[in-house]
Amino acid sequence: MIPEVTPLDGLFGMLRKIIFRGGIWPVVPAIIFLVVFFAMPLTVLFAFGFVSIERGVVDWGTVSLDHMTSTLNDSLFWHFWWRSFWVGTVSTVFCLCLGYPVAYIYTMAGRGWQVLILVATISPLLTSALVRTYAWMVILGGRRGVVNAILLEFDLVSRPIRFLYSDFSVILGMTQIHLPFMILPLITVLSARDRSLEQVSLNLGASRVRTFFGIILPLSVPGIVAGFALVFAISYTNFIVPQLLGGGNYTTLAVQVYEFIVVILDWNKGAVLAFLLLTSCFVFVLGINYVGNWAMRWREV
């Protein structure tokens, strides 16, 4: 509860404590790894957005904001950004709505059911997201897709329904693929909760429903924030699902980055888009955390 570093120490004092108390040394390998394989490549990529590249040769003498300004003035960019944003948000909200009951049931279930829920949650992570995306194509696909085949077989529809290559299929695929990342933080927070609070709530005359919404849900905000931020970040930047389940004409910001860098080989544009995608993602995650902290202001003691 008592902070080790007081505000009076300032940034310098904090650094000195971290370095000279030996706290920093165990994380040095991780820091080196992150700098070499994460921070440096990203910096180089971002730098590509501010220089011109001619036939694969970087001309470092021509630093300018031209690529950035032209992108920001492009209405198509905002169109793709908006799609990334709302698709990410909607699938994250679905993940929360589907994941919370699972996590809650987990905490109420017996040991056997808990293992089952945990295995069911984690095992999809053992297969590649790409494979799972293809699986959705098989399920949702045209006349031969599993769903349409069944509907046609039983004459429930006369023509196959167009599930694939729509907002629906993209959101469905994203929600399913990202669901574990919502369930796991929620399980962590809900499992650690103090059950005596629920008993007291009942004792004071509240119904179970009232107890859930008045006590359990507000106290699980840390898990909701963690899961929401995590799932939003990976949904917002996912390019496989929109590309495969959205089809050729369905483009989001993340798909654009992929297209420009891998297909069109316009690294300037790709770098600018990547920069905008990642920084905006960062801002959104900070925003989610801010809202979460506001909702948990009772913890600030």
Q: How far is the CB of 261 from another protein (least distance, A)?
A: 46
Query: For residue 268, what is the enclosing H or E element?
Result: helix 267-295
Q: How far is the CB of 3 from another protein (least distance, A)?
A: 15
CB 238 within 8 A of CB 174: yes
Query: For residue 53, what is the enclosing H or E element?
Result: strand 52-54
Cα(164)–Cα(142) distance, integer angstroms: 7
Cα(196)–Cα(211) distance, integer angstroms: 12
Cβ neighbours of 279 (radius 10 Å): 11
Which is closer to another protein, CB of 79 or CB of 210? 210
Q: How far is the CB of 93 from another protein (least distance, A)?
A: 23
CB 288 within 8 A of CB 232: yes
Which is closer to another protein, CB of 55 or CB of 299? 299
Q: How far is the CB of 1 from another protein (least distance, A)?
A: 8
Site residues, another protein (CB under 8 A): 194, 196-197, 199-208, 210, 214-215, 218-219, 296, 298-299, 301
Cα(2)–Cα(18) distance, integer angstroms: 17
Residue (of 111, 92, 166, 115) closest to 136 by Cα position: 166
Q: How far is the CB of 218 from another protein (least distance, A)?
A: 5
Which is closer to another protein, CB of 126 or CB of 301? 301
Which is closer to another protein, CB of 201 or CB of 243? 201
Q: How far is the CB of 299 from another protein (least distance, A)?
A: 7
Which is closer to another protein, CB of 219 or CB of 245? 219
Q: What does residue 191 show for φ and ψ, rounded to 5 degrees?
A: -70, -30
Which is closer to another protein, CB of 105 or CB of 200? 200
CB 296 within 8 A of CB 221: yes
